[in-house]
Amino acid sequence: MKIFSQLLRLGIFSLLISITHASVEVSSLPQSSSVPGGIAVIPTEIEAIEANYRNERVLLADYNGVQYAIVGIPLTVEAGTEDLYLDLPGGQKKTISFTVEPKTYTEQYLTITNNRQVNPNAEDMERISRERAEMNSAFSSWNETIAPVFKMRPPVLGIRSSSFGLKRFFNGQARNPHSGMDIAADEGTPIYAPAAGQIVATGSYFFNGNTIILDHGHGLISLYCHMNTIDVKLGAHVVAGDQIGKVGQTGRVTGPHLHWSVNLNNTRIDPALLLVD
Ligand SMILES: [Zn+2]
């Protein structure tokens, strides 16, 4: 009986620890780049149980016994001082201010032959907003059963044809900045999961074509677009190196390539910050 009650106490104790400790042990940190579209790696200097930035939950990571907040900074943020909000055990709170440095992204002009992909009609707009809601819901998922990794292999062997953050003009008209990295490769080239995760959305979308969203845990989520085929099922768990699809040219494209986006705290950040090479 004594052992039982001890085990029970231990069980409750470890349950309490897991409730009050929302950090995840990681094997490496991402490259810190405190600019719009970058990642700020901020030591919390105290053991926080939750962190928030611009009303989004932020990844808390333990690395070599030190806790860090891994903060994705939106492209739209102006250079200056930003605040990160920490929840501490016992209801205490702490605010950490950090500096975002300016970064200028260059412009890119693209010509799209299908004008409906630049100026969609009313029916298209309905479809686009439905698909956007579906993708946004996947981007805001928070899964604590997967430990994120910040060192990834490129998902496709190819040529980086367009980088993150470019100010884009389609047929001369200003559109949203480029929210990911483009890797050009022949149609049919395999696309590999750059890290372990779970497939949280698959679909054939208006702009993005055949698409997968892969959840790497704690708000680190990646997106794969314009695929020829999707080779995984919704809900499947993959490990780094698993084939998830093939390069194609579905959706709004000027040629076959993979569009790869990475999200942290529901914010598109530069995927190059996570690549090992
Ligand atoms: Zn792209």
181 Cα–ligand 1 center, Å: 6
Distance CA 271, CA 247 (A): 18
- Angle of CA points 267, 273, 277, to nearest 5°: 150
Distance CA 231, CA 268 (A): 24
222 Cα–ligand 1 center, Å: 13
Distance CA 269, CA 277 (A): 18
112 Cα–ligand 1 center, Å: 13
The pTM (predicted TM-score) of the whole model is 0.89
CA contacts within 13 A on the Cβ side of 193: 25
2 Cα–ligand 1 center, Å: 62
Report the pLDDT value the prediction gives residue 20, as an integer from 0 to 100.
47
12 Cα–ligand 1 center, Å: 48
Q: Answer for the pair 271, 257: CB distance below 8 angstroms, yes or no.
A: no
80 Cα–ligand 1 center, Å: 28
69 Cα–ligand 1 center, Å: 28
| Per-residue pLDDT reduced to its tens digit, 113-149 | 888 888 888 898 998 899 999 999 999 999 999 999 9
260 Cα–ligand 1 center, Å: 7
| Per-residue pLDDT reduced to its tens digit, 153-176 | 999 999 998 899 998 888 888 888
161 Cα–ligand 1 center, Å: 9
Report the pLDDT value the prediction gives residue 32, as an integer from 0 to 100.
93
| Per-residue pLDDT reduced to its tens digit, 66-78 | 999 999 999 999 9
Helices (H), the chain: 2-20, 122-139
Task: Name the residues around ion ligand 1, CB cutoff 5 A.
Answer: 182, 259
Distance CA 144, CA 150 (A): 16
What's 62-114 look like in SS3? EECCEEEEEEECCCCCCCEEEEEEEECHHHCEEEEEEEECCCCCCEEEECCCC
Query: Which residues, at least 6 apart from 248, have a Cβ–Cβ distance to it below 8 Å?
Result: 187, 188, 209, 210, 226, 227, 228, 229, 256
Sketch out the chain's domains with CATH numbers: 22-100 (2.60.40.1590), 107-274 (2.70.70.10)
